[in-house]
């Protein structure tokens, strides 16, 4: 039996796509053991024929940072569930200015059905593990399974809400509010069960200062200065540049511009 890859944890800034090889022996629940718990609808909707197809095309890809995972069907012909880690979706202007337009956390679905012209790059921001499916199988599944499409619609609507919320941040908030909003957003996504009254809270920042700047429409220096200000004001503590402790989420929220 072939080696079974699943949920490998990889070096940051590299996305490796893995598909479990032993689909035949294990059946649907084993195909995607990790995401089965969270993506029952997406993984569970595969039928045996599709699993055979998956087994044939499964392979371990390594994709260089910055290369397109989405928006270019030829590059990487697959859809994935994010099992752990953070994937950043970016768009760039011709002169190199970049904007991160979304962060994908587990258990988000990564891929753009019904491809359109829009070019988005997907890049691993941290160590990322993915469970991938061939594009063709997913698209067939979608045609055959209204339930899958329903789940996808719900995720897409949520992503649309997130995007529009972030538009307010980009268009109307000050640098200080942007950075506070960012920290809150990360805290909530890293631990979705987070109770706003649980203090203190701490987490690892999944992004570099440069990434944060690209997400907030700021420069590295401004991000750094605002983080310093939050630190000297006693709102947060930062250890090793990445580990953030928030004493009072409410205090942070009050600086986020509501």
Partner DNA sequence: CAAAGGCTTTGACCGAAATCAAGGTATCGG
Partner DNA sequence: CCGATACCTTGATTTCGGTCAAAGCCTTTG
- Binding residues vs a copy of itself (CB under 8 A): 89, 91-95, 97-99, 101-102, 112-114, 116, 118, 120, 146, 149-150, 152-154, 156-161, 163-168, 170-173, 216-217, 257-258
- Which does residue 37 bind out of DNA, a copy of itself, none, counting CB within 5 to 8 angstroms by kind? none
- Which does residue 225 bind out of DNA, a copy of itself, none, counting CB within 5 to 8 angstroms by kind? DNA
Among 174, 198, 245, 254, binds DNA (CB under 7 A): 174
- Which does residue 7 bind out of DNA, a copy of itself, none, counting CB within 5 to 8 angstroms by kind? none
Q: Is 198 among the residues that bind DNA (CB under 7 A)?
A: no
Minimum Å gap between C-beta 118 and a copy of itself is 4
Q: Is 94 among the residues that bind DNA (CB under 7 A)?
A: no
DSSP 46-95: --HHHHHHHHHH---EEE-TTS-SSS-TTT--EEEEEEESEEEEEEE-TT
Dihedral sign from CA coordinates of 53, 86, 217, 182 = positive
- Residue number, 42 or 218, with CB nearest to DNA: 218
Angle, in degrees to the nearest 10, between helices 175-190 and 146-172: 150
**Could you give the CA distance from residue 126 to residue 142 in angstroms, rounded to a whole number?**
30
Q: What does the chain come to in residues?
A: 258
**Could you give the CA distance from residue 231 to residue 245 in angstroms, rounded to a whole number?**
10
Q: How many chain residues are in contact with DNA, going by CB under 7 A? A: 21
- Residue number, 109 or 182, with CB nearest to DNA: 182
Q: Check residue 22 and report its DSSP letter.
A: -
Among 155, 199, 219, 248, binds DNA (CB under 7 A): 219
Q: Is 167 among the residues that bind DNA (CB under 7 A)?
A: no
- Which does residue 257 bind out of a copy of itself, DNA, none, counting CB within 5 to 8 angstroms by kind? a copy of itself
Q: What is the token pair recorded at 153?
A: 């619609």
**Could you give the CA distance from residue 111 to residue 218 in angstroms, rounded to a whole number?**
27
Burial class (CB in 10 A: 0-12, 13-18, 19+), 137: buried
Q: Is 238 among the residues that bind DNA (CB under 7 A)?
A: yes
Q: Is 170 among the residues that bind DNA (CB under 7 A)?
A: no
List residues near DNA by CB under 7 A. 174-176, 208-210, 217-225, 227-228, 238, 240-242
């Amino acid at each position: 039996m072939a080696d079974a890859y699943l949920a490998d944890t990889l070096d940051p800034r590299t996305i490796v796509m893995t598909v479990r090889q032993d689909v035949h022996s294990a059946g649907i629940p084993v195909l995607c053991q990790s995401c089965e718990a969270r993506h029952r609808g997406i993984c569970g909707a595969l039928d045996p024929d599709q699993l055979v197809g998956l087994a044939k095309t499964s392979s371990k890809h390594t994709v260089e940072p910055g290369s397109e995972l989405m928006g270019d069907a030829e590059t990487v012909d697959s859809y994935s569930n994010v099992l752990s880690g953070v994937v950043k979706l970016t768009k760039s202007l011709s002169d190199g200015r970049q904007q991160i337009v979304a962060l994908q956390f587990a258990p988000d679905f990564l891929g753009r059905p019904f491809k359109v012209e829009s070019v988005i790059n997907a890049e691993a921001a941290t160590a990322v593990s993915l469970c991938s499916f061939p594009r063709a199988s997913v698209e067939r599944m979608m045609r055959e399974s209204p339930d899958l499409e329903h789940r996808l619609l719900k995720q897409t609507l949520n992503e649309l809400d997130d995007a529009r919320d972030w538009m307010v941040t980009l268009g109307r908030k000050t640098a200080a509010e942007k950075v506070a909003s960012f920290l809150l957003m990360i805290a909530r996504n890293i631990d979705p069960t987070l109770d706003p009254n649980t203090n203190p809270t701490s987490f690892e920042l999944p992004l570099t200062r440069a990434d944060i700047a690209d997400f907030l429409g700021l420069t590295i220096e401004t991000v750094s200065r605002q983080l310093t200000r939050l630190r000297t004001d006693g709102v947060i503590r930062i250890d090793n540049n990445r580990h953030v402790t928030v004493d009072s989420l409410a205090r942070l929220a009050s600086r986020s511009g509501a």
